[in-house]
């Protein structure tokens, strides 16, 4: 993809005013961190055609065929209290569902950082923060969105596969930048739009799940998902319990 083509006609307030495209890198999250260290501005976005060490949550690898997916990282420098940092992952996943909707694809967010179409993974989000004097200095929001082809990792799908045709990645990239810009502009306001969209677009509410939490397994039915608090379950034994997101190692539907 070409940066000027992504920027063309982009309707944004802050995110996407600086767009960088590279052919190949280890991970766009690493490039964005380097850019942050060199003083790159809030809203810088870095796209790569190919990553040689793409990574996901909890050290998992993220593999995508060259030129098939959108692999990008947003450098964000919001004025955000620490307890709101989980909203960055939330906004990344919500932005992907906005993009999917623009292409006529109905997708759902799966706590904590995935977007699914039916039982197939469409996208993953990886937010990494750097702190200075106890406050977030900058946050890198990485997004891997399958656009064309049949992704090999996980039971997965792509937007193009769902639409039944190959899609223009530049168009999808522009739509993603605009969606991230919109959700970023809401970060410092009330949390309600995030909470409502997160619950409405969740594919977990009402489902039976298995949670691995600080080394223990629990099973139950999801009563609610909250964008900051975590996942509330009715355990199989009848008790109600909230599992905080940062302590959940694995969550699977059963
Ligand atoms: C996950 O599914 O656990 C998250 C996957 C995030 C992948 C994206 S691709 C662009 C950015 N660079 C990376 O190394 N990871 C993220």
Whether the bond into 128 is cis, omega within 30 of 0: no
Residue 57, ligand 1, Cβ within 6 A = yes
200 has a pLDDT exceeding 90: yes
Confidence at residue 113, expressed as pLDDT on a 0 to 100 scale: 87
pLDDT level of residue 195 (50, 70, 90 thresholds):
very high
Residue 142, ligand 1, Cβ within 6 A = yes
Residue 156 CA to residue 91 CA, distance in Å, equals: 21
Residue 151, ligand 1, Cβ within 6 A = no
Adjacent-strand bridge partners of 143:
72, 125
The neighbour count for residue 20, using CB atoms within 10 Å, is 19
In angstroms and rounded to an integer, the radius of gyration of the C-alpha atoms of the chain is 18
Confidence at residue 214, expressed as pLDDT on a 0 to 100 scale: 85
151 has a pLDDT exceeding 90: no
Distance 239 CA to ligand 1 centre (A): 35
Residue 54, ligand 1, Cβ within 6 A = yes
* Nearest atom of ligand 1 to the alpha carbon of 28: 12
* Nearest atom of ligand 1 to the alpha carbon of 26: 14
Confidence at residue 246, expressed as pLDDT on a 0 to 100 scale: 80
Confidence at residue 248, expressed as pLDDT on a 0 to 100 scale: 87
Confidence at residue 196, expressed as pLDDT on a 0 to 100 scale: 97
134, with CB counted inside 10 A (0-12, 13-18, 19+), is: exposed
Q: Ligand 1 pocket check: which of 35, 68, 71 to mutate, most ligand atoms within 8 Å of Cβ?
A: 71
Distance 51 CA to ligand 1 centre (A): 10
pLDDT digits (tens, 9 = 90+) for 41-84: 999 999 999 999 999 988 889 989 899 999 999 999 999 989 99
- Kindly report whether the global pTM for this prediction surpasses the value 0.85: yes
Distances (CA, A) of 111 to 124, 138, 161, 169, 230: 11, 23, 23, 26, 8
How confident is the prediction for the chain on average, in pLDDT? Answer: 94
Residue 16, ligand 1, Cβ within 6 A = no
Phi and psi at residue 175, to the nearest 5° = -65, -35
Confidence at residue 222, expressed as pLDDT on a 0 to 100 scale: 97
Q: Which has more confidence, 112 or 160?
A: 160
Q: Which has more confidence, 179 or 133?
A: 179
Confidence at residue 111, expressed as pLDDT on a 0 to 100 scale: 85
Q: Enter the tokens of residue 193.
A: 């739009």
pLDDT digits (tens, 9 = 90+) for 162-185: 999 999 999 999 999 999 999 999
Residue 184 CA to residue 14 CA, distance in Å, equals: 9
Residue 124, ligand 1, Cβ within 6 A = yes
Distance 171 CA to ligand 1 centre (A): 20
* Phi-psi group of 124: left, alpha or beta (phi > 0 → left; psi -120 to 50 → alpha; rest → beta): beta
The neighbour count for residue 39, using CB atoms within 10 Å, is 6
Q: Is the Cβ–Cβ distance between 18 and 40 less than 8 Å?
A: yes
pLDDT level of residue 250 (50, 70, 90 thresholds):
confident
Residue 113, ligand 1, Cβ within 6 A = yes
153 has a pLDDT exceeding 80: no
Distance 54 CA to ligand 1 centre (A): 6
């Amino acid at each position: 993809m070409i940066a000027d083509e992504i920027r063309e006609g982009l309707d944004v307030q802050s995110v996407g005013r600086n767009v960088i495209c590279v052919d190949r890198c280890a991970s766009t999250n690493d490039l964005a961190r380097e850019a942050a260290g060199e003083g790159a501005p809030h809203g810088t976005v870095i796209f790569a055609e190919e990553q040689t060490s793409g990574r996901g949550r909890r050290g998992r690898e993220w593999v995508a065929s060259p030129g098939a997916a959108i692999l990008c990282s947003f450098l964000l420098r919001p004025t955000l209290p620490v307890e709101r940092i989980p909203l960055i992952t939330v906004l990344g996943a919500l932005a992907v569902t906005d993009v999917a909707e623009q292409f006529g694809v109905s997708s759902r967010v799966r706590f904590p950082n995935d977007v699914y179409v039916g039982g197939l993974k469409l996208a993953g989000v990886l937010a990494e923060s750097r702190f200075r004097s106890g406050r977030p200095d900058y946050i890198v929001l990485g997004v891997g969105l399958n656009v064309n082809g049949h992704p090999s990792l996980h039971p997965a799908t792509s937007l193009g596969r769902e639409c039944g045709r190959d899609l223009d990645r530049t168009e999808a990239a522009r739509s993603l930048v605009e969606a991230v810009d919109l959700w970023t502009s809401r970060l410092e306001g009330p949390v309600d739009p995030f909470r409502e969209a997160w619950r409405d677009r969740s594919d977990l509410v009402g489902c039976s799940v298995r949670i691995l939490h600080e080394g223990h397994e629990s099973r139950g039915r999801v009563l609610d998902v909250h964008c900051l608090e975590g996942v509330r379950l009715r355990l199989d034994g009848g008790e109600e319990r909230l599992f905080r997101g940062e302590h959940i190692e694995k969550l699977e539907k059963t």
